[in-house]
Amino acid sequence: MHKFDFKNQTAVITGGAQGFGLDIAKKFLESGCKVFIWDIDEKLLKTVAKEIDNFNLNYHVIDVSDYAKIKKIVDEITNKYKIDILINNAGITGPTAPLWEYDVEKWNKIVQINLMGTFNCCRAIVPNMISNNYGRIVNVASVAGKDGNANASAYSAAKAGTIGLTKSLGKELADKNIAVNVVTPAGAKTRILDQMSIEHVQRMLSKVPRGRFLEIHEFTSLICWLSSNENTFSTAAVFDISGGRSTY
């Protein structure tokens, strides 16, 4: 993988205790970055911190749908450091069901975590980036937010909202040295697949011309470039990494 220099930078990665988020955290740490991983799973956070054993790694137990908690933690971090990078990766797929049968509470939870969680983190962290006139924000959406997945209307709608949020925020910050972009991956071999039925997973795979799932390291490579100071022009953009499923 291309070498990036994140020395003297600080990153916040949500959903950082596993999957995409953890791999991104590891690569950032290798590149000299101070990393704060946020996740709702305290046990997993402690395990990861022990295994990685890097003084630049910090963690917080956070539910991204809780704005008050996020704001409190952000204030604590920014009392010591500036936040240069935000990766909004936390998300859940929820159950699969036709819209007219979808449980209302589960629908709301999916939207709260996937869409409102992204809003909450941006809302709390962007002012610090503005004051420092530097920032890189990467929001993790999904190809489902572009195409829509049958029987996953809540997830598809939340990820479509994340795409719209990114375009708006990117334009709002375009006159500053702050880039805001969104990535739309196809299915990958992470634990999020465990939340889906076998039929739904196979349906997803059948739509990918590459004929396989996304590899985590492939995703991390894209995130690293978007998060780096090499990305000086792209903002408010959608970066597809779906193996040919979406070509727009």
In this structure, what CATH number is given to the domain that contains residue 115? Answer: 3.40.50.720
199 belongs to a structural domain: no
| Candidates 67, 102, 155, 248; catalytic one | 155
Average confidence (pLDDT) over 55-73: 98
Supply the DSSP symbol for 214.
Answer: B
List, in sequence order, every beta strand (DSSP E) within the chain. 10-14, 34-39, 57-61, 85-88, 135-140, 178-185, 237-241
Do the domain assignments include residue 4? Answer: no
Contact in structure between 87 and 10 (CB atoms under 8 Å): no
Question: What is the domain extent for residue 152?
Answer: 10-186+214-235
Structure tokens at 40: 């709702």
Q: What are 160-213's pLDDT values in tens digits? A: 999 999 999 999 999 999 999 999 998 776 666 566 667 766 777 777 788 788
pLDDT, one tens digit per residue, over 32-61 is 999 999 999 999 999 999 999 999 999 999
Does 242 map to a domain? no
202, part of any domain? no
Q: Is residue 25 part of a domain?
A: yes
The reply to whether 248 belongs to the active site is no
Q: Give the pLDDT band (50/70/90) at residue 122.
A: very high
Residue 7, judged by CB atoms within 10 A of its CB (0-12, 13-18, 19+), counts as exposed
Residue 3 lies in a domain: no
Determine contact, residues 36/58, Cβ cutoff 8 Å. Answer: yes
Total of domains in the chain:
1
Mean pLDDT of the chain, nearest integer:
93
For 12-27, the DSSP string reads EEETTTSHHHHHHHHH
Domain for residue 196, yes or no?
A: no
Q: Quote the pTM value.
A: 0.93
Does any domain span residue 110?
yes
On whether the CB atoms of residues 121 and 69 are closer than 8 A, the answer is: no
How many whole angstroms from its chain centre is CA 100?
29
